[in-house]
Structure 1
Amino acid sequence: MQKTILVVEDEDILREISKDYLLNEGYQVLEAADGKQALTLIHDHDVDLIILDIMLPELDGWSVCRRIRKTSNVPIIMLTARVDEDDTLLGFELGADDYVTKPYSPAVLLARAKRLIESRNREERQTITSDSSNSDTLSAKGLQIQIPSRTLTVDGESVYLTYTEFQILAYLMQNNGIVITREQLILKIWGYEYDGDDRTVNTHIRNLRSKLGEKSKLITTIVRTGYKFEGNA
C-alpha cells in the first residue's frame, strides 16, 4: 500500500524539492505551507509520516507537534536550524521522533523518512502475522508491552508512548539486566547516519521515565555509559 507523507514547510522551494524526492521514491505527498493547514490535512487524511518545519506561519512546528501528539503517534521528523540545539531538544520533549538540521541534503531527509516508514511497515506485518505468542509480549514489574501493536500498560493502565519512546523501552526490556550504551541506543533507534548527541538520548529517556511514573526506577542510569532495565530487581 502506498504510504503518505505530509511535508509542512513554508519555503516553497524547499517544500517542492522534498516533495520531488519523496514522489520519486513512490510515496504519496501532501503539502502544507503553515501550521493550521497542516492540522487540517492531518484531520482529513491518513498520514504515515510528517516532516515538520519549526518556523511556520499561523502555528509554529512546536504547537503543531503538541496538538498532533494529543491524538496520534504518527512518526514526526522536525526540521530545525543547526545552531538551535535547544529547538531540537524541545521538539523531542513534545514528541518528535527524529530531526534534520538545516541546511540539509534531501537525500538525508529521504533516508530518515524511509527508515521510519520501513520500521512501521515491519511492525504492521508483524501485527498481521502475529499469533499472540509470548515473544510478542514483554512484561516486568507491572509493565507490559505488546510489540506488534506498540502498546504499553502500566499496572493494567494504558500509557501513551511516541514511536521513539516505545522503541527505546522495548530495546531496554529485550536486554533486561544488560547495560546499553548511548551509542548502542543511537545505532539501534536512529541508525548509522544519525548525527545527534547524548543529550538527544537523555531527553527521550527523561520523557519515557516521566510517563512510567513510579516504574521509572526500573530504568537505571549507568554514569558516563548508558542505561539498564532492571526488571528482575
Structure 2
Amino acid sequence: MEKIRILVVDDDDAIRDVIQIYLRNAGYEVLQAEDGQEALALLTQTPVQLIILDLMMPHMDGISFCLKLREISHTPIIMLSAKTEDMDKIHGLSIGADDYMTKPFNPLELVARVKSQLRRYLDFQQPSGKAQDILELRSLTLNRTTHQVLLQGQEVRLTPKEFAILELLLEHQGMVFSAERIYTAVWQEPFMESESTVMVHIRNIREKIEKSPRHPEYLKNVWGVGYKID
C-alpha cells in the first residue's frame, strides 16, 4: 500500500524538521516547502493527502495559499499560527482550513489531529457501502460515493469537514444537532470549547448552499439548541 504523503509548509526550517520527524515516525511520507508559492509548484507535480500550513510566511502567506488551493482541491489543511486570538482562528477556518493549532504546539497532538483529518478524508475517497449513497432535499443533492454536492445541478465545493457536517444533517433531516454533537460526530474527538469551530463551518456551508445565508432555506438554527436541515 502506498504511503500517505503530507506536505509541511513553513518558513521555519526547525519547525518543518521537527514536524517531519514526528510524522515519519508515525509512518507518513513528508514533503517540505518554505512558502505558499513553492508549495503550489510542488503540488502540480506530487499529490498529497494532507497539508500542514503556517499562517505567516514570505512571498505567499498561508491565507493566500489556502484560498488558491480551495479553488481546485479539497485536501485537508491544518493551519499553524503564533496568533492566539479567536478571530484569527475563525478567519483561518472560514477561508478553508479544516483545523487550527497555535504555536508552540505539542507535536504528538499535531500527529493525533493529522490522523483524525486523514481518517475522514480517506473515508471519503472510498465507496461508503451504505444503502443510501444519495441524500437529497429539494434542489440539494449529496453523493457519498463521489463526494459531490449539487445545488440545482451545479456542483458546490465543500471542504471535507463541511461535507461531513452537511452529510450528518441531511442523513437525519429534521433532527436538531447541538454544536457539541456535531463536533464529536465529525471531528471524532472530545468537545472542548469548540462551538466557534462548528459555527464557522455552519456559516461557510450556508454561504455556499443558501440564496440568503441570513434567511436559510436548508440549514437552520434552533435557537439555544443547535442546527437542523429540513
Considering the TM-score relative to the shorter chain, is it more than 0.5? yes
* Alignment correspondent of 1:222: 222
* Alignment correspondent of 2:172: 175
Using the TM superposition, give the Cα deviation of residue 126 of structure 1 relative to its aligned residue in structure 2, in angstroms. 2.2
What percent identity do the matched residue pairs reach? 36
Q: Residue 204 of structure 1 is aligned with which of 201, 204, 207? A: 201
Instruction: Tell me which moved more, 79-88 or 1-10.
Output: 79-88
Amino acid at match of 1:29: V
Measure, in 2, the Cα distance between the counterparts of 1:43 and 1:85.
33
CA contact (8 A) 2:120 2:160 kept: no
* Alignment correspondent of 2:65: 64
**Pairing of 1:3-152 with structure 2 (within 5 A):** 3-81=4-82, 83-126=84-127, 135-152=132-149
CA contact (8 A) 2:6 2:28 kept: yes
Question: Mind listing any 5+ residue stretches in structure 1 that lack a counterpart?
Answer: none
Secondary structure at the aligned position of 2:210 is classed as helix
Amino acid at match of 2:35: D
Using the TM superposition, give the Cα deviation of residue 202 of structure 1 relative to its aligned residue in structure 2, in angstroms. 1.3
Give the TM-score taking structure 2 as reference length.
0.92
Question: Mind listing any 5+ residue stretches in structure 2 that lack a counterpart?
Answer: none
Secondary structure at the aligned position of 2:101 is classed as strand
Q: Which has the higher helix share?
A: 1
Using the TM superposition, give the Cα deviation of residue 196 of structure 1 relative to its aligned residue in structure 2, in angstroms. 5.0
Measure, in 2, the Cα distance between the counterparts of 1:206 and 1:159.
15
Using the TM superposition, give the Cα deviation of residue 229 of structure 1 relative to its aligned residue in structure 2, in angstroms. 0.9
Using the TM superposition, give the Cα deviation of residue 122 of structure 1 relative to its aligned residue in structure 2, in angstroms. 2.3
Aligned Cα RMSD in Å?
A: 1.7
Structure 1 126/144 Cα, relative in aligned 2: closer, same or farther at 3 Å? same
Give runs of ≥4 in structure 1 deviating > 4 Å: 193-196
Using the TM superposition, give the Cα deviation of residue 82 of structure 1 relative to its aligned residue in structure 2, in angstroms. 5.2
* Alignment correspondent of 2:152: 155
Count of aligned positions: 226
Instruction: Tell me which moved more, 75-84 or 153-162.
Output: 75-84
Measure, in 1, the Cα distance between the counterparts of 2:217 and 2:113.
32
Structure 1 49/118 Cα, relative in aligned 2: closer, same or farther at 3 Å? same
Measure, in 1, the Cα distance between the counterparts of 2:124 and 2:203.
25
